[in-house]
Structures are given as C-alpha cells and as structure tokens.
Amino acid sequence: MRMEITIDLIFALVQAIVTAVLGTFLKDSVLPSKWIPIQNIVIGLISAGIAIYFGLFSNIPTAIVTCLAVSLGVGGTYDAIQIKNK
C-alpha cells in the first residue's frame, strides 16, 4: 500500500511544525507558560482560516476542529515530553 502525500498532509505537518517552533521560542521567554494554550488556539484558528481560504476544507466546522486539534495536540505533546525529561 502506497501512501500518497497530499496537500492536506503537508498543511497539517507545516501547522504542527509552526506550532512547535512558536511554543518552544515563546515559552517562558516572551509569554508565561500559562498563555501557550491560548497561543496554540490562535494558531489553530489562523490555520483554519488559511485552510478554508485555499479550499483544503469545504466544511468550516471541520476545518476549525481539525486545525485546533493539530495545534493543541502539538502543544500537549511538547509539554508531555518536557515533563518526562524533568
């Protein structure tokens, strides 16, 4: 079975990387840690708007939920790894 790389997969990957990089850069240096989930929500909403604009999703609620899940999932995964390392 061959996996096709689609624009949806590329978009999710780019969104995850941007969320992780911003979370790493801004955490405790610019924003207090308690604001990182809000930052991830904003990134998810912006990503949903971009995805809808470029036609990656035809259903607006699906775009919002998917993009929020990716951005919040990346932030939660990052925090879980950091807690484990401490």
Domain ranges of the chain: 7-85
Query: Residue 31, CB half-sphere, CA atoms under 13 Å: how many?
Result: 14
**Across the 86 residues of the chain, what is the mean pLDDT of every consecutive 10-residue run?**
69 79 74 77 86 84 89 73 63
How much is the pLDDT for 54? 82
Residue matched to tokens 């604009």: 53
How much is the pLDDT for 61? 93
Long-range interactions of 4-12: CB distance < 8 A, separation 24+? 7/56, 8/56, 11/47, 11/51, 11/56, 12/66, 12/70
